[in-house]
Chain A
Amino acid sequence: MNREAQREERAQRLATLDMQYKKDIENAIFRVEKEEVQERYLEQRKAINEEYQSIIGGTSYSDRLNRKIERAERREEMTDKNIKIYERICQNSVDGKTKTIKKSEKQNLHVGKLRGGKVLIAGIITVVVTAASVPAINVAKNPAILSENPVVQNLQKKKQINSDFEAAVKEYDVSQKLEDKNFKDLNGYIGTKDENELSKLAGIDLVMLKIYKRSLAAEYLEFMGVPGSDWEERSNNFANSQGSPDWKTYEKETKENFAIEYRAEQNTIAKGNAQ
Chain B
Amino acid sequence: MNELHTGELFNLDNFEYVIIDELEIDNNEYALLANVDDEEDIIIQKIEEDEENISFLPISSQEEFDKILIAFEKHMTNNVEA
> Residues on A close to B: CB < 8 A?
85-86, 88-90, 92-109, 111, 114, 117-122, 124-126, 128-129, 132-133, 137-138
**Can you name the residue of chain A whose Cβ is closest to the Cβ of B49?**
A103
**Contact at A114–B6, with CB atoms within 8 Å?**
yes
B24 contacts chain A at the CB level, 8 A cutoff: no
Contact partner of B18 (CB less than 8 A), chosen from A90, A93, A95, A109, is A109
Shortest distance between the CB of B69 and any CB in chain A (Å):
6
Residue numbers in B under 8 Å from A109 (CB-CB): 7-9, 18, 36
Is the CB–CB distance between B72 and A125 below 8 Å? yes
Known: A94-B61, A96-B58, A117-B20. 15 other contacts (CB 8 A): A88-B42, A97-B58, A100-B54, A100-B55, A102-B53, A105-B10, A105-B11, A106-B8, A114-B7, A117-B34, A121-B34, A121-B76, A122-B77, A126-B76, A129-B69
B43 touches A98 (CB 8 A): no
Quick check: B55 and A118 within 8 Å, CB to CB? Answer: no
Which of B36, B54, B65, B76 is in CB contact (< 8 Å) with A93? Answer: B65
- Does residue B27 face the partner (Cβ distance < 8 Å to A)? no
Residues of A within 8 A of B18 (CB): 109, 114, 117
> Measured between alpha carbons, how far is A256 from B42 in the docked complex, in Å?
67
Complex contacts, B58 vs chain A, CB 8 Å: 93-98
Cβ-defined contact, A125 with B69, below 8 A: yes
Check A126 against B77 for contact (C-beta < 8 Å): yes
Indicate if B79 sits at the interface (CB-CB under 8 A): yes
CA distance A114 to B19 in the complex (A): 9
Residue of A nearest to B78 (CB): A122
Q: Judging by beta carbons under 8 Å apart, are B55 and A99 in contact?
A: yes
Given contacts A93-B44, A100-B55, A103-B54, whether A119 and B80 have CB atoms under 8 Å apart is yes
Count chain B CB atoms within 10 A of each CB in A97, A105, A109, A129 and give the residue with the most. Answer: A109
Cα distance, A108 to B5, chains bound together (Å): 9
Q: In the bound complex, what is the Cα–Cα distance between A124 and B69 (angstroms)? A: 12
Contact A101 B66 (CB under 8 A): no
Q: Which of B12, B53, B79 contacts A122 (CB 8 A)?
A: B79
Contact of A108 with B7 at beta-carbon distance under 8 Å, contacts A93-B44, A124-B42 already known:
yes
Q: Kindly name the residue among A93, A96, A97, A117 whose own CB sees the greatest number of chain B CB atoms within 10 A.
A: A93
B62, CB-defined interface residue at 8 Å: yes
Ordered by A's residue number, 30 sampled pairs between the chains whose C-beta atoms are within 8 Å are A85-B42, A88-B41, A88-B42, A89-B44, A90-B69, A93-B45, A93-B58, A93-B59, A96-B58, A97-B58, A98-B58, A99-B55, A101-B56, A102-B53, A103-B3, A103-B52, A103-B53, A108-B7, A108-B8, A109-B9, A111-B7, A117-B18, A117-B20, A121-B32, A121-B39, A122-B20, A122-B76, A125-B32, A126-B76, A128-B69
